[in-house]
Chain A
């Protein structure tokens, strides 16, 4: 390489820039994205680079380190995951038909919804437990790294224009009532009955750095680990393993598999092909 000609785009150089940016974000702000899956991280970073009118990762680093509002926007880009009520209806149907009967044996249920984002799947779970008569003895701990999305989750208000899709999902997930019973339409929002969220505790929790905070009968973490690299995935799987009671259930996204982690041997799949696993050793 000669030093007097500009270098064309070089993937290795960009990887170095991204590692430096993530190191800077961690050391200056304390947010640790260093073990996030590279290709998705890179796409999200470029979305922010373009939105700020910049042209390189290094330019973004300069802005992020000197201008906290830019960091705030980047934090949203990197930590907000989109979700839907009864996402993958077959998964919720399997929860209802296979997992709920297992959970009935417990006098009290603790459920951890890790990486709950804006809370759509928390509402789905509450609806399901209510209909199955288990909600009264359940506490759902819904956590996310991002405080802003938790505020939205707590509000119980969801976009009205998604309700048709959610209603279809609900029916295909084995719903037994009319889905519109659960919310009131107001302007462009659907306000869910506050009683539905009476047993939900929302709190900030960082899967990368925080430890377990209780013992759970069911842990749901869907489409969150796909944003982590293999080493971080294994670390979080260890956290889940230690947080589950014996015979507790772990629910993952439909294309997340334990067979590519170190924990395959510790679980058995209870309703294949759905990604519901029971801790057996």
Chain B
């Protein structure tokens, strides 16, 4: 099995989950990491800043036609859907899907189409069922489907919906997800504490479903 891209989707509770994920991947993580976090259409660069604190991998919002590059973290920009086409990112402003733009389904579907069995999809904490269809598609095309254990998710709705559509997805607690990918990629285990550093500022994570 050779995974070439990791795409994670989340909504409520996503900030903490994504910080834990990026921290755990380690600074030598070689793949492109694509993150879709539901958020308000006018949200600013704060999410990128808060994620950058947890990793040495460069974090940025993906731009249209930007090459998909390993060892970097790409965040879906607010108010756009994020897709991939022939090795680069593609954006569109088509209507929201399940009230979401960016939609996790749209990104997972595009990643699955482009990468097939070389894609890995990941559904983390969240308060709706976005991502379940996309993960199903990714699994159907031979990709690796991983879901955060609903029992320890801040909001179990999204992981539960994903597990209903993809019952044979790998189900792991958040802290063990990065290690799972490092093992697949034959990277050495990281020493020490796997919890991310405390956020540099107090962040009250807004409810992303309140739009």
Interface residues, chain A, with chain B CB atoms under 8 Å away:
9, 11, 37-40, 42-44, 81-83, 89, 223, 225-227, 229-230, 233, 253-257, 260-261
Interface residues, chain B, with chain A CB atoms under 8 Å away:
42, 61-67, 77, 80-81, 83-86, 88, 90-95, 106, 109-110, 113-114, 116, 140-141
Q: If the complex has contacts A9-B140, A81-B93, A230-B65, are A254 and B85 also in contact, measured as CB distance less than 8 A?
A: no
Q: If the complex has contacts A37-B85, A39-B84, are A255 and B90 also in contact, measured as CB distance less than 8 A?
A: no
Kindly identify which residue among B65, B90, B93 contacts A39, using a CB–CB cutoff of 8 Å: B90
How far, in angstroms, from A142 to B177 measured CA to CA in the complex?
50
User: Would B94 and A226 count as touching, CB distance under 8 A?
Assistant: no
How far, in angstroms, from A11 to B129 measured CA to CA in the complex?
25
Chain B, Cβ-Cβ closest to A14: B113
User: Would A40 and B92 count as touching, CB distance under 8 A?
Assistant: yes
How far, in angstroms, from A257 to B64 measured CA to CA in the complex?
7
User: Would B65 and A260 count as touching, CB distance under 8 A?
Assistant: yes
B81: which A residues are within 8 A, CB to CB? Answer: 40
How far, in angstroms, from A177 to B208 measured CA to CA in the complex?
31
Q: If the complex has contacts A233-B65, A255-B63, A256-B64, are A226 and B91 also in contact, measured as CB distance less than 8 A?
A: yes
How far, in angstroms, from A225 to B84 measured CA to CA in the complex?
15
How far, in angstroms, from A255 to B75 measured CA to CA in the complex?
12
User: Would B93 and A43 count as touching, CB distance under 8 A?
Assistant: no
How far, in angstroms, from A227 to B91 measured CA to CA in the complex?
8
User: Would A82 and B95 count as touching, CB distance under 8 A?
Assistant: yes
How far, in angstroms, from A229 to B92 measured CA to CA in the complex?
12
Whole-angstrom distance between the Cβ of B49 and the nearest chain A Cβ:
14
Whole-angstrom distance between the Cβ of B136 and the nearest chain A Cβ:
12
A256: which B residues are within 8 A, CB to CB? Answer: 63-64, 91
How far, in angstroms, from A223 to B86 measured CA to CA in the complex?
20
Whole-angstrom distance between the Cβ of A228 and the nearest chain B Cβ:
9
A81: which B residues are within 8 A, CB to CB? Answer: 93
A225: which B residues are within 8 A, CB to CB? Answer: 64
How far, in angstroms, from A81 to B64 measured CA to CA in the complex?
16
Whole-angstrom distance between the Cβ of B118 and the nearest chain A Cβ:
12
A11: which B residues are within 8 A, CB to CB? Answer: 113, 116, 141
Q: If the complex has contacts A11-B116, A40-B90, are A260 and B83 also in contact, measured as CB distance less than 8 A?
A: no
How far, in angstroms, from A40 to B64 measured CA to CA in the complex?
12
Whole-angstrom distance between the Cβ of B96 and the nearest chain A Cβ:
10
User: Would A255 and B91 count as touching, CB distance under 8 A?
Assistant: yes
Residue of B61, B113, B116 contacting most chain A CB atoms (<10 Å): B113
A229: which B residues are within 8 A, CB to CB? Answer: 85
User: Would B106 and A43 count as touching, CB distance under 8 A?
Assistant: yes
Whole-angstrom distance between the Cβ of B98 and the nearest chain A Cβ:
14
If A39-B83, A39-B114 are given as contacts, then 14 extra A-B residue pairs at C-beta distance below 8 Å, sorted by A number, are A38-B85, A39-B110, A40-B92, A43-B83, A82-B94, A82-B95, A83-B93, A223-B91, A229-B85, A253-B64, A255-B77, A260-B63, A260-B67, A261-B65
How far, in angstroms, from A82 to B141 measured CA to CA in the complex?
31
How far, in angstroms, from A229 to B90 measured CA to CA in the complex?
9
Kindly identify which residue among B67, B94, B109 contacts A44, using a CB–CB cutoff of 8 Å: B94
Chain B, Cβ-Cβ closest to A42: B113
User: Would A226 and B62 count as touching, CB distance under 8 A?
Assistant: no
Chain A, Cβ-Cβ closest to B84: A39
Whole-angstrom distance between the Cβ of A35 and the nearest chain B Cβ:
12
User: Would B93 and A260 count as touching, CB distance under 8 A?
Assistant: no
Kindly identify which residue among B64, B83, B95, B114 contacts A255, using a CB–CB cutoff of 8 Å: B64
B90: which A residues are within 8 A, CB to CB? Answer: 37-40, 226
Chain A, Cβ-Cβ closest to B109: A43
Q: If the complex has contacts A11-B116, A226-B93, are A39 and B64 also in contact, measured as CB distance less than 8 A?
A: no
B85: which A residues are within 8 A, CB to CB? Answer: 37-39, 229
How far, in angstroms, from A255 to B48 measured CA to CA in the complex?
15
15 A-B Cβ contacts within 8 A?
A: A39-B84, A39-B90, A40-B90, A42-B113, A44-B94, A81-B93, A89-B42, A230-B88, A255-B63, A255-B77, A255-B80, A255-B91, A257-B63, A260-B63, A260-B66
Whole-angstrom distance between the Cβ of A240 and the nearest chain B Cβ:
16
Whole-angstrom distance between the Cβ of A135 and the nearest chain B Cβ:
27
User: Would B64 and A260 count as touching, CB distance under 8 A?
Assistant: yes
Whole-angstrom distance between the Cβ of A205 and the nearest chain B Cβ:
20
A257: which B residues are within 8 A, CB to CB? Answer: 63-66
Q: If the complex has contacts A43-B106, A255-B61, A260-B66, are A223 and B88 also in contact, measured as CB distance less than 8 A?
A: no
Chain B, Cβ-Cβ closest to A257: B63
